[in-house]
Structure 1
């Protein structure tokens, strides 16, 4: 009996000793030993859906790692390609082993794009361009603009030949305590406070013979706006090429902390515009495409010269993209402006404080009690439906398509 007890005791001790090794799991390729070094994962759940969309939306990440003095210690670039899509794998992590990072405290910074940065630069349209920082506060990302100001304006034109690429920046960094022999922790959801500050509280500690897991939460800076115009007086006599639509803002540059640096004033124009018509039988069709990337405007398009007998209404549509939008409570402050004017009469149809108008969409998510800026940062796809009376907008529907929600805003100046 004593021999049996000793034998069982030895087996138990062996199992206990092996347990930490058996519990070790790797995020990437399996290895024989427990994980060590730094594993950096990414999450993009700072959106109105409150869901992690990183693997579905992001195709390029540039990760910068700085030491406790703010000096660049390591850099990693990861992109999806036709043959490999590492960022499309849920839980993908950038791994830096102990030979790359010595024990100590580090701060992390990342910017991301929808596709490889170099590939994006090779395509038409305005581009985001970032520098190569050597210190944590040197990183800047600048949106291309034209060399000359728009005629009669202080604003520089942003190319409208193609949609903008999508830019994400660092929102905050979280990390677990160094782990030894434990399973990979779940990716944490992004929680308040939504800021990289104070930086000291978001430092990541790397230790010997242990793995540290850090998560970089991203915020999307690039926004999309669809505008629809409808005419109440003469609903069939409205065409997309009758109006000039533009956004004016001072938001060409974002800094290391994703703050907007008010340098150049920009003029954003639609990258696509078209006219739709509604027929008496209830059908809707695109009548004329006025602008759109890669579209041959001369083929397969209906023109306004055709018989209008069956047309009961026309609507004009415009798609625009622009950089991060900032909300200022003071209406007279340097807010972005949405300008709509009639090309034929020169009349200003709308001159609107764009952040104030768009941020009203937060009411669709009352349960979360979003502030103005938080909503503008979470939302990235906006829809405004203007109803015109003559050369003035009478009211506007702010539409949230995913919720089938709309809020009507009256023009208080009428």
Structure 2
């Protein structure tokens, strides 16, 4: 037997949904000319989960935001900047009014508009195109001795179409990545005796101070020398005879690290001038990836990780190149692979 009540209920429900849809459309100028124009543009969320925790850290890490908008031909359209506390709100969204019926490219930078930013636009975005957009490290950060603790710097981009028949803002998510790294080098004597930081000089060389706005690629600009922004001694417990183990440390702050690049770490005896070590630092950092994250690409690993602690062992002032410790993991060295 046909259930008349059920049929009527479904009919009324369908009619109600259809009416609501039409009412929604007719609440702005998409249907009638005498109504206010419909919102046109985008509502953007910003996420930074490209890290080793795989969790969104944007609200806690990004303290200023710059957004650039380009059309589908790469021509500059507009920009927005946000530096207030709303960035710490997980529910915050940035709304940008834009003409409908077009596709846009959004380029976002975190840490560029802050008063202590370490990077800058090479030229004003409004005067160029997406292809010409470049960001460079500030001159007072390049080759500074002592080094500079770089302000955290982030990058993200998104291509998003605003439909011609849109009756509300189009939603999108800009996924960010971090372009700055902290590398802490520690020297430890095998016999447990203290190591003095002033007995050594530390330097890291790399060509990574210029970045493309289109894809965040490193643009060759010449090798620069990073010097540590902090040096000193650190206690790490006791050795077998009960005495304190004291290590020397040097902490670097660098721009984006690139796999298969020529970045090198060099440590020199400050008294004799003898080279203690000169190694391809990125190759050494990637040794940890092969142990823990073998299914992750080398560049992805370098971009996700940003804090490195590397312990090197000395014997009578000479580096023992058989093992190192990276982020608390012991790595056995095979120089043939490096």
TM range (shorter): 0.7 to 0.9
1:383 aligns with 2:309: yes
2:256 aligns with: 324
Alignment of structure 1 residues 49-128 onto 2, 5 Å? 49-80=53-84, 85-97=85-97, 100-113=98-111, 117-121=113-117, 127-128=118-119
CA distance in structure 2 between the aligned counterparts of 1:407 and 1:34, rounded to whole angstroms? 60
CA distance in structure 1 between the aligned counterparts of 2:317 and 2:286, rounded to whole angstroms? 25
2:137 aligns with: 143
1:164 aligns with 2:150: yes
1:132 aligns with 2:121: no
CA distance in structure 1 between the aligned counterparts of 2:204 and 2:293, rounded to whole angstroms? 28
CA distance in structure 2 between the aligned counterparts of 1:363 and 1:228, rounded to whole angstroms? 22
CA distance in structure 2 between the aligned counterparts of 1:6 and 1:66, rounded to whole angstroms? 51
1:184 aligns with: none
Question: What SS does the corresponding residue of 1:358 show, helix, strand or coil?
Answer: helix
CA distance in structure 2 between the aligned counterparts of 1:271 and 1:167, rounded to whole angstroms? 17
Post-superposition offset of 1:406: 3.5
Q: Structure 1 residues 343, 281: CA separation in 2 closer, same or farther (over 3 Å shift)?
A: closer
Alignment of structure 1 residues 263-278 onto 2, 5 Å? 263-277=221-235
Q: Structure 1 residues 210, 259: CA separation in 2 closer, same or farther (over 3 Å shift)?
A: same
1:360 aligns with 2:287: yes
Q: How many residues align?
A: 315
Post-superposition offset of 1:276: 3.0
Question: What SS does the corresponding residue of 1:226 show, helix, strand or coil?
Answer: strand
CA distance in structure 2 between the aligned counterparts of 1:359 and 1:21, rounded to whole angstroms? 58
Question: What SS does the corresponding residue of 1:109 show, helix, strand or coil?
Answer: strand
Q: Is the 8 A contact 1:249 1:267 kept in 2?
A: yes
Q: Structure 1 residues 206, 77: CA separation in 2 closer, same or farther (over 3 Å shift)?
A: farther
Question: What SS does the corresponding residue of 2:193 show, helix, strand or coil?
Answer: coil
Question: What SS does the corresponding residue of 1:270 show, helix, strand or coil?
Answer: coil
Alignment of structure 1 residues 13-412 onto 2, 5 Å? 13-14=15-16, 16-18=18-20, 37-80=41-84, 85-97=85-97, 100-113=98-111, 117-121=113-117, 127-130=118-121, 131-133=123-125, 134-145=128-139, 157-158=143-144, 160=146, 162-170=148-156, 172-173=157-158, 202-208=159-165, 209-233=167-191, 235-256=192-213, 257-277=215-235, 311-328=243-260, 335-366=262-293, 369-395=295-321, 396-401=323-328, 405-409=329-333
Q: Is the 8 A contact 1:62 1:75 kept in 2?
A: yes
Question: What SS does the corresponding residue of 1:376 show, helix, strand or coil?
Answer: helix
Question: What SS does the corresponding residue of 2:293 show, helix, strand or coil?
Answer: helix
What's the TM-score once normalised by structure 2's chain length? Answer: 0.81
CA distance in structure 2 between the aligned counterparts of 1:278 and 1:94, rounded to whole angstroms? 46
Post-superposition offset of 1:16: 4.9
Post-superposition offset of 1:412: 6.2
Q: Structure 1 residues 6, 106: CA separation in 2 closer, same or farther (over 3 Å shift)?
A: same
